Amino acid sequence: MTAYAAGVLALVVAYMANNAVIVFTKKLFKGP
């Protein structure tokens, strides 16, 4: 795996994780 591929992969993972945190936070504040 090249450094470029690793960087892109890290970026995608960070983006997905950020979206998951946003969705989870919205659900948490809205309640069940």
Angle ∠(5,13,32) on CA atoms, nearest 5 = 170
Q: Report how far residue 26's alpha carbon sits from residue 32's, in angstroms, rounded to the nearest whole number.
A: 11
Q: What secondary structure does DSSP assign to the chain, as a single string?
A: --HHHHHHHHHHHHHHHHHHHHHHHHHHHH--
What is the pLDDT at residue 31?
66
pTM of the model: 0.61
What is the pLDDT at residue 29?
87
Q: What is the span of the domain harbouring residue 30? A: 1-32
Q: Report how far residue 28's alpha carbon sits from residue 30's, in angstroms, rounded to the nearest whole number.
A: 6
Overall number of domains in the chain: 1
pLDDT per residue of the chain (32 residues) written in tens, 0 to 9? 799 999 999 999 999 999 999 999 998 888 66
